[in-house]
A and B are shown apart, each in its own frame.
Chain A
Amino acid sequence: KQEVTQIPAALSVPEGENLVLNCSFTDSAIYNLQWFRQDPGKGLTSLLLIQSSQREQTSGRLNASLDKSSGRSTLYIAASQPGDSATYLCAVSLNQAGTALIFGKGTTLSVSS
């Protein structure tokens, strides 16, 4: 059974710091991995999608890497801002379109000004 773990569970940093969020999964036979952001009481916003054949994706200050063989992904946030404060969720899908995502418990990030 696929399990997704995110470390740390919570993180507090001052504005401007670069930071790394970690995600690990037990079954390397994934189809893709997706990072989401969730604000309190809100839905999910997709940040980055990495296909199983890819090693990284970048969007603005965000960079996500994927090492499928070791079952790990990292989300790198450069020059953090207070507006980045949210919960970041990592999720994997096992097969082609049609199967659900399996989520980690998330990392709650707080960036202070």
Chain B
Amino acid sequence: GAVVSQHPSRVICKSGTSVKIECRSLDFQATTMFWYRQFPKQSLMLMATSNEGSKATYEQGVEKDKFLINHASLTLSTLTVTSAHPEDSSFYICSANGRALYGYTFGSGTRLTVV
């Protein structure tokens, strides 16, 4: 099946530091990956769409300079939260959509806590 591996699963960082989250498609090539964030008891909100070899497309209200996305290969996308603040604490989850697949596969998510 299609597997997406996301790391780390949990991270605690100090305010002002940067955190990188990785999302890898293990057994398929992901031409497009999506990054979502989820606040407690809320649904998943799309942050950005990442296409291999090109710049990410950010949703309205998402700061592209704060949430840096890199999709340099067909199997890896990274989200870097720069200069993190407590309000960035959330559950971040990636999703991949490969060429030959129907449906979307999700990573296991990253719980970010900024203290």
A residues near B, CB below 8 A?
Answer: 32, 34, 36, 41-46, 49, 51, 89, 91, 93, 97-106
**A98-B32, A100-B34 in contact; A43/B93 too (CB < 8 A)?**
yes
Given known pairs A89-B43, A89-B44, A103-B44, the reply for A49 and B103 (CB within 8 Å) is yes
B102 adjacent to A32 (CB under 8 Å): yes
| Chain B residues within CB distance 8 Å of chain A | 6, 31-32, 34, 42-44, 46, 49, 91, 93, 95, 97, 99, 101-109, 111
Interface of A, helix, strand, loop or mixed by DSSP: strand
* Complex contact A43–B102 (CB within 8 A): no
Q: Is the interface of B mostly helix, strand, loop or mixed?
A: strand
A97 (CB) vs chain B CBs: closest residue: B97
Is there an interface contact between B42 and A34, defined as CB atoms closer than 8 Å?
no
Name the one of A32, A41, A43 contacting B107, with C-beta atoms under 8 angstroms. Answer: A43
In the complex, 21 of the A-B residue pairs with CB atoms within 8 angstroms, ordered by the A residue number, are A34-B103, A36-B106, A41-B91, A43-B93, A43-B107, A44-B95, A49-B102, A49-B103, A51-B102, A93-B104, A97-B31, A97-B32, A97-B97, A99-B49, A100-B46, A101-B34, A101-B44, A101-B46, A101-B104, A104-B43, A105-B43
Asked if B106 and A44 sit within 8 Å, CB to CB, the answer is yes
Chain A: minimal CB distance from B38 (Å): 9
Contacts of B34 in A (CB 8 A): 100-101
C-alpha spacing A98/B49, complex, angstroms: 9
Cβ contact of B103, chosen from A32, A42, A89, A102, cutoff 8 A: A32
Minimum CB distance partner of A45 in chain B: B106
Q: How far is the CA of A51 from the CA of B102 in the complex (A)?
A: 9
User: How far is the CB of B64 from the nearest CB of chain A, in Å?
Assistant: 16
Residue of B nearest to A41 (CB): B111
In the assembled complex, which residues on chain B have CB atoms less than 8 Å from the CB atom of A93? 104
Q: For A105, list chain B residues within 8 Å (CB).
A: 42-43
